[in-house]
Structure 1
């Protein structure tokens, strides 16, 4: 296979090189099941070869756990002799990296077999499969992701705990919940200016920045995309931007779901609408506030499949610390209107822009797998005309609706492994790979003797 199966062209590479004579090297980045960018840094003269013949990468790169160790149960290591497959550049993701020295660029990659068939343990292909299934029905998803994160000091406090970063402008510190404080944002203005400059250079529609509901916590919003795949690419690229620019300013960007015990965690909410072949939003109601059957059925599908999908939305041990009552993280598969205490929210706004805000995912989740699972849930709801039940009003944390959500990480792993829905949502190979990786990570955590063990038991038992 010597022709790109994903549509990338040599003309794109040559145009970029001509426009950026200063760039000396490129990060080529493949996103694994955990959302980690793995790949290589290539020299400028190698870029055209990537576009004409792809780049060989070992199949095992998609079978690694969070630490980079092989997970043999994925079947991607020695079962295949750890042979090479071919990664190809994703069109539209060849971009400069702002502020690097010497100047570098970046391109996202997708993995294919040597004959050009998509490698089905690549999470991006899982999303593409769901997009294609909907397109066959004349439906086209649009949306955007929200990015919440912490900016932390590179040094721990006296007790060894992480602490919010000092303002990069003047070194001022704050341990307050400066939620929606505009003046507080001014202290991070040099960093956010570089983030916006980097996003602009990469064509990423980064918009509003907010000081969020914890010391050191922030949110960046992304403009809506008519192509949900591109929205997921935006999120992957924006996380890389934030991490790099924070490092350049001497602080740490943290994408753990719950880095500080006493405060709210960080979510990755997905905003989703659905258009038909004529471009009409099928979630729009005929009379404002009289919800359309399609949006109710879509919510019904998302609610019905949420419990068995939670491992995708909360994939790590730390992810489960985020689900605390009255923390803005949902505790049950509830839905409501203009209500941030539910899992599935219909935001207020113009009815022509009607959408669903899917709130369970932490910022540590893989956006491709999240989007694939959400689309599969919507499709199930539409196909089976599922009723979401009564709307939750008021405090959703006091709802009488029974919660079917797994209580912890281990339960979520078992539910995911047994789920025929999730297997269909992400594909059999991706399902096997993802659940095997999560099982291996669970066992790693379970056998680790932590500092908490010593604190609780050393002198007491």
Structure 2
């Protein structure tokens, strides 16, 4: 085969080298991430990989206009308005990786959507993030960052009340019903599973780092190595979620990435750590004198604080997302900022001054990291351009502060309305991605609103 043009920058040489290095691999997951962060695509056989790299793969445009259940959302304009025609997905350079613990052996590769002429399909979340990276590059800035992954390991069976329960230890089937926050011994019961997660991450080129037992029964957190490229940071998060889910399933338990699977305990966040480098590789958030914050980091905080309310739908995109926000829950309830303070929404962590960064804490683990990063970068850019003052630092209990902060929506419906009317969010995501995302969320809200749930029967069956 001869080399052909790929708008993503992928090359036949990469695929040929991979096949030569991995003669055992029989098939590949080719994965495109939609507005909800769901991986959609196909499994192709080994002999199909080179033709995929040579000419891309035709996929229907509607694949980016689906709701959480995989149903068409006509209001996105991506279904019958376009005749549900095919576009072309192309592999992303550097994302072709072997998978761990699969029978028969498989690999995976991420892809992005383009039109038939090779132009970026603007309802692809990955392109939305690249657009903000490019805008910052025009200012001489390059964002770096990493996401944190919080998740639950749950039993495959529910209890007598229909509630999800923590998974028993895969080592010896010991039950776990207590909040074992930071318990090292508690982690040991899941070591066979964690070992497979680390092995799969290493095989995929991901530097998965610290594992801790988090603030709820069955809840864990896994940190990722800081990346000098935020696109790679988002890729790491998406790939690691697939890894955790697959390895948990192999060990007979369920990995849960809902924001709030248990009403009695803390939910799961996806904190995004972000900094900015100039053309010389210098972290522009670093202050000259430790603790005397630079105008750059203050203006970045100001932009994030000013835009948080209208952006909350990106950070909390589902009905369940909004159950995570409550006082004393380690999830922020107002757009506050502070230093070494986990009760605020925007935190400057303690540590080496050279690693100065902002920890953006509102997003749940159920959010799409490409859209989260795009929105956060757009907020920072706005703050830098407009030199927005973030207001006074919040000290002490951030849940008692924030009365003077810009308001944020109180619920999912309010967040959808705020996002629909937000010129900032339209600019942050791009008009097409904004229309697609908000239309999908409105359709999902309508689905939930018309559903008669067990809560309805519990409250009203015998009482009204």
Whether TM exceeds 0.5 here: the answer is: yes
Evaluate the alpha carbon distance shift between residue 2 and residue 429 of structure 1 in structure 2; reply closer, same or farther with a 3 A threshold: farther
CA–CA distance in structure 1, aligned partners of residues 232 and 275 of structure 2 = 14
| Structure 2 match to 1:414 | 417
Residue 438 of structure 2 corresponds to residue 435 of structure 1: yes
Contact 1:55–1:86 at 8 Å: present in 2 too? yes
- Of residues 119, 122, 134 in structure 2, which corresponds to 1:120? 122
CA–CA distance in structure 1, aligned partners of residues 284 and 177 of structure 2 = 45
CA RMSD, Structure 1 to Structure 2 (Å): 0.8
Q: Secondary structure at the match of 1:434?
A: helix
- Please show how residues 342-421 of structure 1 align to structure 2 within 5 Å: 342-403=344-405, 404-421=407-424
Q: Please, which runs of 5 or more residues in structure 2 have no aligned partner?
A: none
Residue 455 of structure 2 corresponds to residue 459 of structure 1: no
CA–CA distance in structure 1, aligned partners of residues 46 and 213 of structure 2 = 39
CA–CA distance in structure 2, aligned partners of residues 299 and 225 of structure 1 = 21
- Please show how residues 184-263 of structure 1 align to structure 2 within 5 Å: 184-263=186-265
CA–CA distance in structure 2, aligned partners of residues 148 and 91 of structure 1 = 28
CA–CA distance in structure 1, aligned partners of residues 44 and 8 of structure 2 = 20
- Using the TM superposition, give the Cα deviation of residue 418 of structure 1 relative to its aligned residue in structure 2, in angstroms: 0.1
Q: What is the number of residues matched between the two proteins?
A: 461
- Using the TM superposition, give the Cα deviation of residue 6 of structure 1 relative to its aligned residue in structure 2, in angstroms: 1.2
Runs of 4+ displaced beyond 4 Å: none
Q: Please, which runs of 5 or more residues in structure 1 have no aligned partner?
A: none
Q: Secondary structure at the match of 1:231?
A: helix
Q: Secondary structure at the match of 1:109?
A: strand
Residue 452 of structure 2 corresponds to residue 449 of structure 1: yes
- Using the TM superposition, give the Cα deviation of residue 352 of structure 1 relative to its aligned residue in structure 2, in angstroms: 1.0
Q: Secondary structure at the match of 1:402?
A: coil
CA–CA distance in structure 1, aligned partners of residues 351 and 4 of structure 2 = 48
Q: Secondary structure at the match of 2:149?
A: strand
- Using the TM superposition, give the Cα deviation of residue 2 of structure 1 relative to its aligned residue in structure 2, in angstroms: 5.1
Q: Deviations over 1:19-64 (max 9, x none)?
A: 1100000000000000000000000000001111000000000000
CA–CA distance in structure 1, aligned partners of residues 457 and 242 of structure 2 = 36
Contact 2:154–2:167 at 8 Å: present in 1 too? yes
CA–CA distance in structure 1, aligned partners of residues 222 and 51 of structure 2 = 35
Contact 1:332–1:402 at 8 Å: present in 2 too? no
CA–CA distance in structure 1, aligned partners of residues 245 and 51 of structure 2 = 29
- Using the TM superposition, give the Cα deviation of residue 459 of structure 1 relative to its aligned residue in structure 2, in angstroms: 1.0
Q: Deviations over 1:333-362 (max 9, x none)?
A: 000000000000000011111000000000
- With normalisation by structure 1, the TM-score equals 0.99
| Structure 1 match to 2:34 | 32
| Structure 1 match to 2:286 | 284
CA–CA distance in structure 1, aligned partners of residues 402 and 374 of structure 2 = 30
CA–CA distance in structure 2, aligned partners of residues 7 and 42 of structure 1 = 21
CA–CA distance in structure 1, aligned partners of residues 404 and 250 of structure 2 = 47
- Please show how residues 71-86 of structure 1 align to structure 2 within 5 Å: 71-86=73-88
- Please show how residues 20-99 of structure 1 align to structure 2 within 5 Å: 20-99=22-101
Q: Deviations over 1:378-398 (max 9, x none)?
A: 000000000000000000001
CA–CA distance in structure 2, aligned partners of residues 301 and 402 of structure 1 = 16
Q: Secondary structure at the match of 1:407?
A: coil
Contact 1:334–1:401 at 8 Å: present in 2 too? no
- Of residues 317, 326, 329 in structure 2, which corresponds to 1:327? 329
Q: Secondary structure at the match of 2:174?
A: coil
Contact 2:59–2:88 at 8 Å: present in 1 too? yes
CA–CA distance in structure 1, aligned partners of residues 36 and 84 of structure 2 = 20
Contact 2:149–2:365 at 8 Å: present in 1 too? yes
Contact 2:335–2:402 at 8 Å: present in 1 too? no
Contact 2:30–2:41 at 8 Å: present in 1 too? yes
CA–CA distance in structure 2, aligned partners of residues 136 and 339 of structure 1 = 33
- Of residues 257, 263, 266 in structure 2, which corresponds to 1:264? 266
- With normalisation by structure 2, the TM-score equals 0.99
Q: Deviations over 1:115-153 (max 9, x none)?
A: 110000000000000000100111000000000000000
- Using the TM superposition, give the Cα deviation of residue 402 of structure 1 relative to its aligned residue in structure 2, in angstroms: 3.4
- Using the TM superposition, give the Cα deviation of residue 400 of structure 1 relative to its aligned residue in structure 2, in angstroms: 4.8
| Structure 2 match to 1:424 | 427
Evaluate the alpha carbon distance shift between residue 11 and residue 188 of structure 1 in structure 2; reply closer, same or farther with a 3 A threshold: same
- Using the TM superposition, give the Cα deviation of residue 401 of structure 1 relative to its aligned residue in structure 2, in angstroms: 2.7
